[in-house]
Amino acid sequence: MKEKNIIELIDLTKTYTVGDQKLTVLSIPHLAIAPREWISITGQSGSGKTTLLHILGCLDVPTTGTYLLNDINTTTLNTADQTAIRNKTIGFIFQRFHLLATLTAAENIALPLHYAGLSTQLITERVNEMLTLVGLQARKDHYPHQLSGGQQQRIAIARALVTKPTLILADEPTGSLDSNTGQEILKFLKELHATYPITIVLITHDPEVARYGTRQLHIKDGSLI
C-alpha cells in the first residue's frame, strides 16, 4: 500500500493586494511530502519561502487551492481548529529563536504544554526529558540572555519538540549562528530526524545547510523547481 502523505498541496496560490496591485507570490500546482522526509527549500530573499512555511504551519491561508495536512483539508477549517491542529502536529524553529526573555529555559520549553493544559507534574517530566535530550539540564534556570546562540536554539528546538509533533518547520534555523554552531545544530537535527518519526521542512538561502535534507527543492518567484 502506498504510504500516506503528511503534506499535500494542490493548485496552491498566495496573492497579496497592495494598493491596486495584485501580486502572486506563491504558485504551487502540486507538492506531496511523505512522512519522515526532510525537505530543504532554498531560494533567494523574496522568493516566497516564509510565505510557504507560514501556510504549511497554518499561520496563514492560501488565496486559492488546497493544503492537506495528514489528509485534513486545513483550508476549510476555522481559526480555532487550525490552531488546534497546529499545536498538536507542528513544531516551529525560527532564525531568531523567539524565546521569551522573561522566562527561564525550562519555562520556555514548558510553554506549549501550558497551552495544551497538561498537569504540572507531567509538564515538569516532559520538560526535563527535553532538557536532557538537548543536553542543557544544567542550564534550565538560565534566562535566554544568559545562554549562547547555539544554546538558545537548542532550547527553542526542545520547545518545538515538547508536544511530540510529527512535523517540524524551520525558517533559517542557523541564520543567526556562526558556521560551527550552525553545523552543530544541523547535526543535532539530523540525529533527531534519524531517531524520531518526524518530518522536517527547512528553508534556507544556504546550499550547505540544504544538503542535510533527504530532498532538496528550490523556490524562485513563488514557484518550486
29 binding ligand ADP? (CB under 6 A): no
Decide which of Mg ion, ligand ADP, none touches 112; Cβ closer than 5 to 8 Å per partner kind.
Answer: none
Min. distance of Cβ 80 from Mg ion in angstroms?
27
Pick from 48, 144, 173, 213 the residue near ligand ADP by CB under 6 A: 48
| Spatial distance between the Cα atoms of 35 and 184, rounded to a whole number of angstroms | 24
Strand partners, 69: 7, 72
Min. distance of Cβ 48 from ligand ADP in angstroms?
4
All three cell numbers of 173, joined, read 534555523
Min. distance of Cβ 96 from Mg ion in angstroms?
12
Strand pairing category for 72-73 and 223-224:
unpaired
43 binding ligand ADP? (CB under 6 A): yes
Query: Given the rule CB under 6 A, which of 38-46, 81-89, 141-149, 181-189 is the region that contacts ligand ADP?
Result: 38-46
**Minimal CA–CA distance to 56: which of 36, 80, 24, 32?**
32
Query: Given the rule CB under 6 A, which of 49-57, 62-70, 125-133, 207-215 is the region that contacts ligand ADP?
Result: 49-57
49 binding ligand ADP? (CB under 6 A): yes
| Spatial contact of 127 and 155, defined as CB atoms under 8 Å apart | no
Report the Cα 150 to chain-centroid distance in Å: 17
Which uninterrupted H or E stretch holds 159?
A: helix 149-161
